[in-house]
Amino acid sequence: MNWLFYFILPFLITLCITPLIKKLAIFIGATDRPNERKVHSKTMPRLGGLGIIVAVTLSTLFFTDLSQEPVKWIIMGSLFIGVVGILDDIYDLSVKTKLITQILAAMLVVHGGIRIEFINLPLIEDPVYFGNWSWIITIVWIVGVTNALNFIDGLDGLAAGVSSITLGTICIMALMMGNLLVFTFTLILLGATLGFLFHNFYPAKIFMGDSGSLYLGFYLGALSVLGFKNVTVTSFIIPILILGVPIFDTIFAIIRRFRSRQPITSPDKKHLHHCLINMGYSHRTAVLIIYGISSIFSLAAIFLTQTTMWIGNLLIISLVVFVMIGAEWTGVMGSTKKPFLNFLSHYLFRIPAKFKEHR
């Protein structure tokens, strides 16, 4: 099958060149030193995303038709943000500089025609069109997903693994919908990411750095728009579910910092992976738990596209309950108060007490 080569070529390229990039990173000083916020205890090379960028770029040039409008704009935007990530791994760019460049890269993609033009909402028959607001909404979405993936890149293999699960889901859904363009792009990126994961899973030999997390996040943001903007069942829910882990972790970080009156960009150690480590889980176990959560979101997204509206609404409600329980249980919102868990606990334990009284 020809599509196997879309996966195998980038996989082999990343697998083979990552050890060379590790040596390069150490030589030029692109390293990540431990501090009070970092989980690792020794200096690590962090230019691993360069291998993913090289593999995806070469494979895309080889397998895709560059005359297609979405192709060239996605390549241009992703390469631009990839270069910014490489420079950040080497020179530690400011947050403002990275944000401006992310917006510019997103504008390139939007200029190429990749836009969120409408969404389908539950219980509303006609789609809601955004008109001229589609530009701003799409840019906010792509930049948001880019930074969301960057936020979760805190444990060995976490960002690469979650990205692989997300890419695998998009790949399956693109094939189900007959969207061969998105299928090709996703399969190439999946091969490159899994090739890197061999060197990045715990204990990691190299970190992907911002060169990898920004590049993957940007690509995922663009692909989710390109692949699901015309989904007929709650189109705004599908990409949110597929990217559930980084999106909800970012939302809870914003809530947490708002409560403590800190800037949104202020770093802390209350992200999901930090909380799991603080709860006593090992590094590897914490990563596998988050892989499992990401898989649940992905399976729910696939199921949502194949079911009726009412069952889909029940599924969404169940996922909201799941997210709320998980958020309070792990403490990712930074509050010691747990109203949702307390309500469930009171309701569940009050029933046996009544039975005891009757007995």
Q: Which of 264, 268, 291 is nearest to 38 (CA)?
A: 268
- For residue 358, pLDDT over 50 is answered with no
- Among the residue ranges 131-135, 159-163, 236-240, the one predicted with the least confidence is 236-240
A 10 A CB-CB count for 350 gives 9
Segment 85-91 shows an average pLDDT of 93
Query: Could you report the per-residue pLDDT of 92-146, keeping only the tens digit for each?
Result: 899 999 999 999 999 999 988 888 887 766 666 677 788 888 899 899 999 999 9
Q: How far is CA 204 from the centre of its chain?
A: 19
3-state secondary structure of 253: helix
Mean pLDDT of all residues belonging to the chain: 84
Q: Whose CA is closest to 218, among 49, 77, 60?
A: 77
Token pair recorded at residue 355: 């039975």
> b/e for 20-51, b at 16 or more Cβ within 10 A?
ebbeebeeeebbbeeeeeeebeeebbbbbbbb
Using the predicted structure, report yes or no on whether residue 344 has a pLDDT greater than 90: no
| Closest among 342, 308, 341 to 325, alpha carbons compared | 341
Averaged pLDDT for residues 58-82: 85
For residue 90, pLDDT beyond 70: yes
Report d(CA 52, CA 189) in Å as an integer.
8
Is residue 71 predicted with pLDDT exceeding 90?
no
Please give the average per-residue pLDDT across 195-214, as a whole number. 93
pLDDT for residue 359 is more than 50: no
Give the C-alpha separation, 269 to 37, whole Å.
6
CA 100, CA 152: separation in Å to the nearest integer? 21
pTM: 0.87
- pLDDT in the model for residue 353: 45
Does pLDDT of 24 surpass 70?
Answer: yes
Rounded CA gap, 282 and 85, in Å? 29
Distance between CA atoms of residues 29 and 34, nearest Å: 14
Say how many C-beta atoms besides its own lie within 10 A of residue 316's C-beta: 16
Domain positions in the chain are: 3-358
